[in-house]
């Protein structure tokens, strides 16, 4: 191709792949097939098709399709988080992590992997730990949600777990810490005198890329002496 060199706007460059094979009837045989629509291709597809849709509007799915079936769930729900009941507009495809962080503004809950593989997004639903990134908000809307913001006392006194984590220098970068706190508190609520193995097991769904596991474990054991 003669197109080597800087881009020249006066040249009508050929579009698409340079090599084309012509089939028996002169038809173009594609050399590759797209595997599936990647997210990027989807985003671009939406933008290019001229639909007026801003990035955030896409994320929030505010354009609600006409409701085809009255049996499907309503978007307006009340959700109890940290003892407060909120009325929120939640589309069916929204995860709890998303609702907590972007609708309720409780950004203590982190999203690390968004695929149920790290634990940064751990919250309690009726006292049981769940990955909020991989749980539909509608799935747990009748449960009491507790996030890391709901762990300390209303007057700001830290929970023994939080205090012990500070003393044991558990957080390094701190990204996994909210999840570690929630998992540890859920354990001590159920089992105030865990063995080291029980504590290790309870925290096993929380990855720490800084590798501060022993510090967190010591923190839990220290907190267990104080609750």
Partner 1 sequence: MDVMHNFELYQPGSVADAQAVLKDNPDAWIIAGGKDSLDWFKDRVKQPPALVDISGIAELHGITAQEDGGLWIGATTTLTEVAEDAAVREKFPMLAKAAGLVASPQIRNLATLGGNVAQDTRCVYYRDGFPCYRAGGNTCYANTPTAMNREHTMYEASRCVAVTPSDTAPALVALEAVMVIQRGSRQVEVPASEFFIGPEIDITRMTVLERGDILLGVKVPGKWAGSRQYFEKAADRNVWDFALVNVAMAARTEGGKITAASMVCGGVQCTPRRMSDVESLIVGEAPGAELEGLVKRVAARGARPLNFNHFKVPLMQNLAARAVRSLAV
Ligand X SMILES: Cc1cc2nc3c(=O)[nH]c(=O)nc-3n(C[C@H](O)[C@H](O)[C@H](O)COP(=O)(O)OP(=O)(O)OC[C@H]3O[C@@H](n4cnc5c(N)ncnc54)[C@H](O)[C@@H]3O)c2cc1C
Contact residues for partner 1, defined by CB under 8 A: 33, 35-39, 42, 58-59, 61, 65, 68-69, 71-73, 91-93, 95, 97-98, 111, 114-117, 119, 122, 128-131, 133-136, 138-139, 183, 201-202, 204-205
Tell me if 128 contacts ligand X by CB under 6 A.
no
Q: How far is the CB of 130 from ligand FES (least distance, A)?
A: 9
Q: Which is nearer to partner 1, 157 or 204 (CB)?
A: 204
73 belongs to the binding site for ligand X (CB under 6 A): no
Closest distance of CB 116 from ligand X, Å: 4
Of 53 and 113, which CB lies nearer to ligand X in the complex structure?
113
Binding of ligand X by 204 (CB under 6 A): no
Nearer to partner 1, 158 or 213 (CB): 213
Q: Is 112 in the site for ligand FES (CB under 6 A)?
A: yes
Nearest to 186 by CA among 140, 97, 125, 144: 125
Q: 108 contacts which partner out of ligand X, ligand FES, partner 1, none, CB within 5 to 8 A by kind?
A: none
The rounded distance, in Å, linking the Cα atoms of 138 and 182 is 21
Minimum CB–partner distance for residue 31 and partner 1 (Å):
15
Q: Is 17 exposed, middle or buried (CB count within 10 Å of its CB: 0-12, 13-18, 19+)?
A: exposed
Footprint of ligand X on this chain (CB under 6 A)?
116-117
């Amino acid at each position: 191709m003669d197109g080597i060199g800087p881009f020249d706007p006066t040249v009508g460059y050929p579009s698409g792949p340079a090599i084309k094979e012509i089939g028996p009837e002169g038809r173009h045989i594609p050399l590759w097939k797209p595997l599936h629509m990647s997210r990027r291709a989807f985003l671009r597809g939406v933008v290019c098709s001229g639909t007026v849709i801003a990035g955030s509007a896409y994320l929030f799915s505010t354009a609600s399709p006409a409701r085809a079936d009255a049996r499907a769930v309503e978007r307006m729900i009340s959700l109890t988080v940290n003892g407060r009941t909120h009325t929120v507009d939640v589309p069916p495809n929204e995860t709890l992590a998303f609702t907590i962080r972007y609708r309720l503004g409780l950004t203590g809950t982190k999203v690390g992997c968004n695929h149920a593989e790290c634990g940064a997004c751990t919250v309690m639903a009726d006292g049981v730990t769940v990955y909020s990134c991989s749980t539909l908000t509608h799935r747990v809307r009748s449960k009491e949600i507790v996030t890391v913001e709901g762990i300390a006392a209303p007057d700001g006194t830290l929970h023994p777990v939080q205090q012990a984590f500070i003393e044991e220098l558990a957080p390094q970068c701190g990204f996994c810490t909210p999840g570690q706190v929630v998992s540890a508190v859920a354990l001590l609520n159920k089992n105030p005198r865990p063995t080291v193995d029980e504590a290790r097991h309870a925290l096993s769904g929380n990855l720490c890329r800084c590798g501060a596991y022993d510090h967190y474990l010591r923190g839990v054991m220290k907190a267990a002496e104080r609750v």
